[in-house]
Amino acid sequence: MLVHVHFYICVILLMYMNIKDNFKHKGKRLQMINMLRQMGIEDEKVLSVMELIPRHAFLDEAFLEYAYENKAFQIGEGQTISQPYTVAFQTQLLTINKNEKVLEIGTGSGYQTAVLCGMGARVFSIERQRVLHDRAKRFLPMLNINPKLFYGDGYIGQPMFAPFDKIIVTAGAPFIPEPLKAQLKIGGIMVIPVGDNKGQKMYTLIKRSESVFETKLHGDFHFVPLLEQKR
């Protein structure tokens, strides 16, 4: 019920911002949810949150007609908004509980950030590209979505706010950064795509002790690279 109330407020704010969210959009979102179910997404809370979030509001006008297709789109600065399946899959792997602290590496458009907030998480999100960070910092509060946003290097994480219950990386990393492993609480879960520019494997890491991690592999994905050093 809380999720629905929160996003009812979101819809009212969209109207105030003159962003349409009409029956056509809602119908396309429902089609998207049905598609995600057919593709294997089973977490009903993830699906419920994604059914309520207006993905088209996070896209350039040129892509609005295709907002609920399973496609990634350019958002500027060489970055993309992930496919709905990828967002749903990574979120499902996190198994988020209400009020858990979640560190997101790569704010991007803010869509994945909004999904994490809709799941009831306390979200701490880092973006390396200043333009995208500033845009998300302006836009998300207008939707009544209020994560803690940071401009910086995702490889470093946010040690000041560690440990985190969950960590999600939304760009392809060539390796799993040690600072992120250190900032994950014991029993916590990290979801991260690892590989090169040609493609990555999706991993989950469960931290069993300070030095022991249980690793699971979840198949092939393609993300933009995780960049080092903020500009």
- Confidence class of residue 62 from pLDDT cuts 50, 70 and 90? confident
Long-range contacts of 44-50 (CB under 8 A, 24+ apart): 45/3, 45/119, 46/88, 46/91, 46/92, 46/115, 46/119, 47/88, 48/3, 49/3, 49/7, 49/115, 49/118, 49/119, 50/84, 50/87, 50/88, 50/115
Average pLDDT, the chain: 91
- Confidence class of residue 227 from pLDDT cuts 50, 70 and 90? confident
DSSP 217: E
Mean pLDDT, range 173-200, rounded to an integer:
96
pLDDT score recorded for residue 55: 96
- Confidence class of residue 64 from pLDDT cuts 50, 70 and 90? confident
Domain ranges of the chain: 2-221
Q: What is the pLDDT of residues 141-179, one digit of tens each?
A: 998 999 999 999 999 999 999 999 999 999 999 999 999
pLDDT score recorded for residue 187: 98
Mean pLDDT, range 7-22, rounded to an integer:
56
Question: Residue 227 class from Cβ within 10 Å (0-12 exposed, 13-18 middle, 19+ buried)?
Answer: middle
Q: What is the pLDDT of residues 85-112, one digit of tens each?
A: 999 999 999 999 999 999 999 999 999 9
CA distance 41 to 60: 27
The set of catalytic residues is 82
- Confidence class of residue 2 from pLDDT cuts 50, 70 and 90? very low
Superfamily of the domain at 2-221: Vaccinia Virus protein VP39 (3.40.50.150)
Q: What is the pLDDT of residues 116-147, one digit of tens each?
A: 999 999 999 999 999 999 999 999 999 899 99
pLDDT higher than threshold 50 for residue 9: no
- Confidence class of residue 10 from pLDDT cuts 50, 70 and 90? low
CA distance 221 to 202: 7
